[in-house]
């Protein structure tokens, strides 16, 4: 910003030279003093202008944030229906869960509450299902106890083969055993919790049980090996019961019958 000097003050200084009241050197010194004072004033005004513009921009940003916050508060105040009248999750809720899982948001973690409930059960069974979302495969694991049915989470997988599905259940049980203990780093306690869970683990249910029997075999063999390491004899370990979805069996029959009927 250019320094602005009052014209009347300049004329007053110059008139002193014309009248001979002051020497040229004195007039020059006074003139530069005046210029310096105006320069400081100009710099101060420039700084005030910059501060004003900065504050103005901050106010604009704050206003935008306040508007966004107000909109969020209004959205939060809305009642969100998560279940239908029959107790099933709404389509929006199911989509939200699947999208979180496909983004690998840690919604697949077993809660400590479910872990303790499972550890106190005399017997429990696991069930699983799967789906695909945006090119990603997702497996959900749940359990039935004497009192309640719980969901243990949604786990993204690369493929849905027998080994992968068996490993998903194994890892979920191992994680659950750690959550039962107040100190997850205590390996001995976690091992005891895991053995207790596997002893009460009695049944497996999956939509793929009728066509992916190897999953059940791998899971049952892993369970027996872990319990044998705890000191149990193999003949003391009860075999897992494998349950099948009759609807999926019928669908399989329908698919094969439809193929065959087209040949006639």
pLDDT in tens, 142-185: 888 888 888 877 787 888 788 888 898 898 888 888 888 767 77
Q: What average pLDDT does this structure show over 237-248? A: 78
Q: Is the pLDDT of residue 249 over 70?
A: no
Q: How confident is the model at residue 129 (pLDDT cuts 50, 70, 90)?
A: confident
Distance CA 55, CA 72 (A): 25
Distance CA 221, CA 238 (A): 11
- Sequence-ordered list of residues with C-beta below 8 angstroms from that of 111, at least 6 positions apart, any chain: 179
Q: Is the pLDDT of residue 71 over 80?
A: yes
Distance CA 174, CA 202 (A): 16
Backbone φ/ψ region at 188: left (φ over 0), alpha (ψ -120 to 50), beta? alpha
DSSP 239: P
pTM of the full structure: 0.55
Q: How confident is the model at residue 19 (pLDDT cuts 50, 70, 90)?
A: low
Contact 1, 45 (CB under 8 A): yes
What residues pair up with 242 in beta bridges, in sequence order?
Answer: 204
Lowest average pLDDT, out of 102-106, 146-150, 192-196, 250-254, goes to 102-106
Cα-based torsion angle of the residue sequence 65, 67, 72, 76 in order, rounded to the nearest 10 degrees: 140
Distance CA 64, CA 69 (A): 9
Q: How confident is the model at residue 5 (pLDDT cuts 50, 70, 90)?
A: low
Span between the terminal Cα atoms of the chain, in Å: 94
């Amino acid at each position: 910003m250019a320094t602005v000097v009052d014209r009347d003050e300049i004329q007053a200084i110059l008139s002193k030279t014309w009248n001979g009241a002051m020497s040229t050197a004195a007039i020059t010194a006074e003139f530069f003093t005046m210029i310096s004072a105006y320069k400081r004033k100009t710099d101060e005004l420039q700084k005030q202008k910059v501060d004003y513009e900065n504050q103005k921009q901050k106010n604009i940003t704050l206003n935008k944030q306040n508007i966004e916050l107000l909109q969020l508060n209004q959205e939060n105040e809305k009642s969100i229906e998560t279940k239908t009248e029959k107790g099933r999750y709404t389509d929006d809720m199911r989509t939200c869960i699947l999208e979180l899982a496909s983004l690998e948001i840690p919604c697949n973690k077993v809660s400590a509450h479910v872990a303790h409930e499972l550890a106190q059960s005399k017997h429990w069974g696991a069930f699983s299902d799967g789906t695909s979302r945006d090119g990603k495969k997702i497996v959900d694991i749940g359990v039935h106890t004497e009192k309640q049915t719980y969901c243990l989470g949604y786990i993204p997988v690369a493929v849905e083969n027998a080994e992968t599905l068996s490993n998903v259940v194994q890892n979920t049980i191992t994680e659950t055993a750690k959550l039962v203990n107040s100190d997850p780093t205590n390996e001995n306690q976690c091992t005891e919790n895991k053995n207790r869970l596997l002893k009460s683990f009695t049944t497996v249910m999956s939509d793929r049980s009728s066509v992916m029997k190897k999953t059940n075999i791998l899971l049952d063999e892993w369970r027996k090996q872990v319990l044998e390491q705890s000191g149990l004899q193999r003949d003391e370990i009860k075999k897992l019961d494998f349950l099948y979805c009759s609807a999926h069996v019928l669908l399989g029959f329908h698919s094969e019958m439809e193929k065959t009927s087209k040949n006639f």
